[in-house]
Structure 1
Amino acid sequence: MNLRSSWVLETGQTREDTRLTQVGATNALNPVQVRSGILPGSYDGKYRLSGFWMTSASAMEAIVSEGRAVIQGDVSEGVYPVTLPVSETVTFAPGDAQFDRIDLVVLRIYDRLYEGTRNEAVIEVLQGLPETDPKAPPAPARSLPLYEVRVPVGASAGTGGIPWGTALNDLRSTVVSAGGILPVEGPIQPGAYPGQYQDTPDAQLQRWDGGKWVSYPQAVGGVVPASVGSVPGGYIGQYRAVADGSLQRWTGTSWASAYPGPYFNDTLDAGYTTSTTYVDKLETRNVKNPLQVSFVAPESRQAILTFGSKIELALETGTAGIASTGSMCVRITQGSNVHRELSDELACVGSKSADPTDAVSASTTQRIHTLTPGLTYTVTAYYKTSNANVRAWFDNTFIQVTPQY
């Protein structure tokens, strides 16, 4: 066995054993124990973790590559540093005749001071039970899981063996020295003290605040950069940048635009009305009926409202010489409640004198106020003519709401 360890053998520990295994990796787990794990790193610097990587050697054998690790014993047992200076081959038993099984590959310390009769550090294959829904065996004391390996029914050297491309489940985890930033591989574990840092697989730097891992931008009130990608926010009100250059704000459940709006809706199709009271539907085949815009009220409780239309008055046959107007106004509602009612004082108006004139474009800009932040309001367009004998046509009609931040 090539695996080397310190302070396991009662006699025979060499100076070489000691030099190989003094790794200095004591990432705290609690005041008296450290986290078990593998020291990160790779030969070319491209990967977080290459130590104890496992690949196929033959149908029923695998190669475990070199690496260094620490294995924490019970509270009173201390921590065992181990080193594999050259790769090791492990062998798996043939598959069961009826069911798959899952084997567990571990780094294991045998210390007869606490258990059994051996003093040795080994790479060991723990064979699971063949079942319809197989589970890996539990990791024993003083061990560090490396891989789960699914051994299919009837697997053997003569039947093609283990399908290595799909059979492996990587369980390796990392460990660094005290105060170091942990490159996370495997399951995320709780921190040991406030101020501990880790770097997640999605390239997010996190800090342990005493109860949870918090993304680094939260700690400084900064903006999560777009390069981090899509990850949950750490608190309501946290901001992040997105690829299009805009800002988003964490609502507690999702990322939403930090400065939503302007909200806009329009129709380029013309419609008319002969109603002398405001109606929200025009007579035509294609125009949007009703034309509406919904928006979320900002914290300022204010927004700028602009609406308008190209208005044309069409006199009916035999009604020449009638002066008339076409009016567009909006009603603002919040649910079933009316926030602002229709009013001629707030309308935009196109007029026609007794002599024919061309269509006119009319619009108005107004301030909406006393909104309730966070609630959704709806703006609906309404139209009327001043004379039932005159068709008021509305074309290129629009509504825009711009929240004020």
Structure 2
Amino acid sequence: MPVRSAWLINRTSTESGQSRADTRLAPTGAMAPTGALTSASGVLPGSKDGRYIMDALYVYGDTAGMTANVAPGRAVIQGSEAAGAYPVVLTDYTQITFDDGNAANPRQDLVVLRVYDAQFNPSLGRTEAVLEIIKGAPAPNPEVPLVPEGALPLARVMVPAGASVGTGGLNWSTAVYDLRQSTVGVGGILAESWNRATAGGYSGQYRDNATQLQRWDGTRWVSYPRHLGGIAPQGALAAGEYTGQYRDEGGRLQRWDGTVWRPVVPVSGWAFNNDGGYFKAVTYGEALTDTAVPTISAQFTTPVTGAVLVTVGFLGNAQADTAYTRMSVNLRLGGTMVLAADEQRSATVTGRQMTSVSHTFRATGLKPHTVYDAVGAYVCSPGSTNAWIDNRFIRVDPLV
């Protein structure tokens, strides 16, 4: 078999030990570490024309039957900590043949590149590098076999029940799932691979996940645009990773407040209803009678200045020439009153004549990037009966 490794003392076969060609062809040098004495197992990336991540050690079938091909390539396989990492090379296209399927149940087989080293595992009685199929157990929902020490998984292959050369073999377009992962020299950027669950080896290591550059922060891979101070592109983050982080969302800049995304430049809050109703009270209240919508409320997010312009308006009248009807707002943060309705912050109609009025006032000292509610509040002069209020609206504009 054309699988060769540097740094094996000798081989099981009668051939001599490491050759000069072994040393030239096998990858050497300090590979990406996973510990003080261990390296990341993986395939060396690269393709002939640079179009693909890696051509090396690709498992595929090109004819009907139970036989697959493995493309040549180079890899590093970490054995035990004491044994170290083995540089391995497959120099030629090589065929591997799968056993026939179980009569009743499917199974999943594992294709691995494996190093046997009798110096560190005498019980195996072998010293060589090989391509190997680890046969899975047949079951209605078969599991993938465990990867043994000193082995690098290349692919898992689903072998259906009853599969054989006589029944047409394996459907190679769906049977193979690529398990190769890349490895590079220490300090290098890991190439994208299909096994993205692989942890980094040290804080500050980088990898390419096919769309973004990512950095290992000690516990997880963090996409570079999400890093401290970076603006995450649209669709990259469902939730923020720290308070004060920014993202682009549909062309609008948003800020993560620790719980939800808030617009950096908030849009105006707005509430309107044209189903009129009556109000009769000498103190402010938020509900009209004889209307389908007793209360209106405009929700808004404060800008960084914590200041907004609030405008209220309505069409209405009072029931006496000298009486008044007013509309203002109660500003609330959650259920807490922040700024109560007041005549100095109200739109006022005096007399029986139906009149449209509005009033704008400034509210300051609000918490930046925080959601508030502006709720319509009404009052009429003492002695009035059924003050009429129609076409009510509230508008809140950020002051930036």
Specify whether residues 213 and 400 from structure 1 end up closer, same or farther in structure 2 by C-alpha distance, changes over 3 A only: same
Q: What is the aligned counterpart of 2:248 among 233, 237, 241?
A: 241
SS at match of 1:71: strand
Correspondent of 1:49 among 54, 57, 62: 54
Matched, 1:366 2:366: no
Identity of aligned residues (%): 36
Question: Displacement, 1:218?
Answer: 5.8
Q: 1:259 maps to what in 2?
A: 264
Pair 1:35 & 2:40 matched:
yes
Alpha carbons of 1:299 and 1:247: their partners in 2 closer, same or farther (altered >3 Å)? closer
Q: How far apart, CA to CA, are the structure 2 residues paired with 1:276 and 1:232?
A: 46
Q: 1:207 to 1:45 in 2, by over 3 A?
A: same
CA offsets 1:60-106 (integer angstroms, 9 cap, x no match) = 12222222111112222232212223322211111111222111100
Q: Which residues of structure 2 form unaligned runs of 5+?
A: 11-15
Instruction: List per-residue Cα deviations over 1:262-318 (Å, max 9, x = no partner).
Output: 3522225251425354443446666x4311023456776x33141222424387xxx
What aligned pairs does 1:24-173 form with structure 2 within 5 A after superposition? 24=29, 26-57=31-62, 58-115=64-121, 116-173=124-181
Q: Is the 8 A contact 1:305 1:399 kept in 2?
A: no
Q: What corresponds to 1:339 in structure 2?
A: 338
Q: 1:62 to 1:39 in 2, by over 3 A?
A: same
| Paired residues for 1:304-315 under 5 Å | 304-313=308-317
How big is the alpha-carbon RMSD for the aligned residues of Structure 1 and Structure 2? Answer: 3.2
1:240 is matched by which residue type in structure 2? R
Gaps of 5+ in 1: none
Q: Once the two structures are superposed, what CA deviation does each residue of 1:209-259 show, in whole Å capped at 9, x if it has no partner?
A: 444444434655232344x734654433322223x3222334556x61242
Match of 1:382 among 374, 377, 384: 377
Q: For the Cα contact (< 8 Å) 2:41–2:76, is it kept in 1?
A: yes
Matches within 5 A, 1:199-348: 199-201=208-210, 203-217=211-225, 221-226=229-234, 229-230=236-237, 233-242=240-249, 244-252=250-258, 256-259=261-264, 261-267=266-272, 269-273=274-278, 275-277=280-282, 278-282=284-288, 288-295=293-300, 302-313=306-317, 322-348=321-347
Aligned partner of 2:388 among 369, 392, 405: 392
Distance 1:53 1:256 in 2: 43
Cα contact 1:385–1:392 (8 A) shared by 2: no
In structure 1, what residue type is equivalent to 2:340? Answer: E
Once residues 102 and 261 of structure 1 are traced to their aligned partners in structure 2, the CA distance between those partners, rounded to angstroms, is: 54
Match of 1:8 in 2: 8
Amino acid at match of 2:331: I
In structure 1, C-alpha distance between the alignment counterparts of 2:2 and 2:240, rounded to whole Å: 46
Deviation larger for 175-184 or 50-59: 50-59
State the one-letter code of the partner of 2:286: D
After superposition, the Cα gap between the structure-2 partners of 1:236 and 1:205, relative to the gap in structure 1 and judged at 3 Å, is farther
Q: 1: distance between equivalents of 2:297 and 2:18?
A: 82
1:321-359 CA deviation, whole Å, 9 max, x = no partner? x35543211123344443333322221123458xx6x73
Assess if the C-alpha contact under 8 Å between 2:270 and 2:395 holds in 1. Answer: yes
Summarize the Cα distance change of 1:61–1:250 in structure 2 as closer, same or farther, 3 Å threshold: farther
Q: Report if aligned partners of 2:27, 2:76 keep a CA contact under 8 Å in 1.
A: no
Indicate if the aligned counterparts of 1:37 and 1:69 stay in contact, CA closer than 8 A: yes
1:35 shift after superposition = 0.8
TM-score by length of 1: 0.83
Quick one: structure 1 residues 111 and 252, their matched pair in 2 at CA, closer, same or farther if it must change by over 3 Å?
farther
Q: Distance in 1 between matches of 2:239 and 2:87?
A: 36
**Secondary structure of residue in 2 paired with 1:166:** helix
